[in-house]
Amino acid sequence: MLNTYVVDGKARDRLRGSAAGPYLDEFAEWLAGRGYRASTIRSYLLAAARFTSTDVAQRPLTVAPDRASWQMYRAAIHRATKRQGPARRDPGNAYCGARTFVRFLRLRGYAAAPPEVTPALLQSFQHWMRQHRGTGAGTLAQYARVLRQLLALLGTAPDQYTAAQLRAFVLQQAQGWSHSKAETAVGAVRMFIRFLIAAQACPAHLQYAIPRMAGWGQASLPRYMAPEAVAQVLAACDPATPLGARDRAVLLLVARLGLRAGDVAGLQLGDLDWVHGRLRVTGKTRGEAWLPLPQEVGAAILHYLRTARPRAASAGVFLITHAPYTPILSRQVSATAERAIRRAGVPAPSLGAHVFRHSAATQWLRDGLSLQTIGALLRHADVDTTALYAKVDVTRLRQIALPWPAEVRPC
């Protein structure tokens, strides 16, 4: 199989002489069986040989690298490609190819999984969050990045934690980051302390040790697009192509139903109820809700399923357009929105998928829907979150605006 993808004899000899050499023929066959393109297979073979020549790869290849080793390898690739300059910039397959090669070794039994490095305390916290709060995998992953650093700094004996230590850690995590990322760090530590208190593993007074991030509640305005701009973005997707059919169905879900990127990425084929014209959405806290499926949205999804969705065993509704045909991720939904907005050339306050959610809510309010109804459609847990959209209903705001006092001269 190696001869099929690497024509040059010297290059082929170098690959066979690498530590990955004994596995490359089988690796190439494994990739081909999963529908990878020939160009991708060749780049992955080169990536496998390159990976096994570094210190990150175990000798022999019997244990997969751990998380820290992969981070080191990715940073090394970034430094190497940066030195090469734009003309010889690595296309990105070096890291993906190495990860896929190690996955192949693990699936075939040639390499064992890396030793478990997740602290037992963090595992218990994640189980508690899933069991009692229904927290999703994405949020837990964000929290884990913060809490690993906390445990490395303060240790795994929470009964020894002090308020000063926790405050210093949170302030250090918040320094230099955006407000949203700083809030994530604060939220992770606050929830971790609540878990420890519930488990009677630390003093109860520590729940007051974590300061809240300063900020004005509901001070911002929703960032939205006009209905004409949304229509232009949707029209820029060509449903005659596989990618265009998928993009249009995805964008209609966020533009007409106000779904989050994670909602779209998590849709399963079993969530579509064609008989009753509805779809099931699982929110951030795993709460299920059935939403109506408009004719336009349903037709776009059906067109994608019939003509453009790859044949794959995955139950996800929307799949990536190349092998191994896995479900799309939240960031790919946002990338779809950005690509469509740029292609349409319309002005937009932001380039992610969330701008369509804001646009849908704003239009619903202008069409006369109540804030309670909009909150139900958007699945807001707090009515104050939905009240943000009242700020853009200029017509109703004019009805309650007080006249300018005659005795006061305007500036």
CA–CA separation, 256 and 234 (whole Å):
11
Chosen domain end from 107, 131, 162: 107
- Return the CATH number at 290: 1.10.443.10
Q: How far is CA 134 from CA 20, 91, 137, 198, 372, in A?
A: 42, 38, 10, 16, 24
Rounded average pLDDT over 140-159: 89
Rounded alpha-carbon distances, angstroms, from residue 124 to 128, 188, 190: 6, 14, 16
| Amino acid 399: pLDDT | 52
Residue 247 sits at the vertex; the CA angle it makes with 242 and 253, to the nearest 5 degrees, is 135
Q: Where are the beta strands (DSSP E) in 42-137?
A: none
Number of domains in the chain: 3
Answer yes or no: is pLDDT of 37 > 50. Answer: yes
Checking if the pLDDT of 32 tops 70, the result is: yes
**202 and 150 co-located in one domain:** yes
Residue 78: which pLDDT band, with cuts at 50, 70 and 90? confident
- pLDDT of 131 reads 87
- One DSSP character per residue, 248-313 reads HHHHHHHHHS---HHHHHT-BGGGEETTTTEEEEE-TTS-EEEEE--HHHHHHHHHHHHHTS---S
Note whether 204 and 162 are same-domain residues.
Answer: yes
Q: What is the pTM of this model?
A: 0.67
Domain encompassing residue 88: 2-107
What does the pLDDT read at residue 317?
Answer: 93
Residues 103 and 124 in one domain: no
Residues 64 and 170 in one domain: no
Answer yes or no: do 142 and 237 share one domain. Answer: no
Decide if 405 is inside a domain: no
Band (88; pLDDT cuts 50, 70, 90): very low
Q: Catalytic residue numbers?
A: 260, 284, 354, 357, 380, 389
Q: Looking at the structure, do residues 49 and 17 belong to the same domain, yes or no?
A: yes
CA end-to-end distance (rounded Å), the chain? 79
